[in-house]
Structures are given as C-alpha cells and as structure tokens.
Amino acid sequence: MTANCLVLSGVVSREPKHSVSPAGVPHCHFALDHESEQEEAGHLRRAWCRLEVVASGFELQTQTASLTTAMQLRVSGFICYRKTANGLGTVVLHAKSIEQIK
C-alpha cells in the first residue's frame, strides 16, 4: 500500500455544512486555512494554503458538531482528488481525526 497521510493545523475559514448521505452516513464539509513559516533549502518560506476538509462517519460527529469559523484545529487524514460541480479539480482532506487547538 502507498502512503497517503496528511496532518494540517489551521483555522476553520468557511462555516461547516452538515449533511447525511442517502446511505445514512453523516458528513461535515468545511475549509481549513493554514499559515506558517517552513524551512526550505536553508531559507524560511511563508507557507499558506486553504484546503477543503470532509469528515465522514459517526465517529467524527462529536468533533464536528460544535465547529465554527475561526476555530483552530489539527486535522489528520488522507488526501484525494475531487471534481467540483463546475468541473474544476481540487484536493480534499478526508479527516480521520479532528482536534481543537486551544
């Protein structure tokens, strides 16, 4: 199996949207903004990204029930490519765990 694991901390930048699939699986979609300084080739580089996050399943319902914008989180999971409704591609972080950073 090929490795696919991402841990990203950031701020919830879009109001979480909760839904339930036709199969009865709960989902929560939100955006996470990350900003940091990372060392690259001996120099500091500003790193910034906005990543779509989807948290699926009953296990994550407790962590997503009280999510609000501006909340600081650490999300770990795997990434996957998804085409949006308008045909554009984007990378989505599928959460396996969500931890609030105080």
Q: Encode pLDDT of 31-81 as tens digits.
A: 999 999 999 999 999 999 999 999 999 999 989 999 999 999 999 999 999
Instruction: Return the pLDDT at 10.
Output: 98
pLDDT at 73: 97
In angstroms, the CA 42 to CA 45 distance is 10
**CATH class in words for 6-97:** mainly beta
Mean predicted lDDT score pLDDT of the chain: 95
The pTM of the full predicted model, rounded to 2 decimals, is 0.90
In the chain, where the domains are located = 6-97
Tokens describing residue 23: 């199969």
SS3 66: coil
| Contact partners, residue 18, CB within 8 Å, separation at least 6 | 26, 27, 28, 64
Q: If you average pLDDT over residues 5-31, what whole number do you get?
A: 97
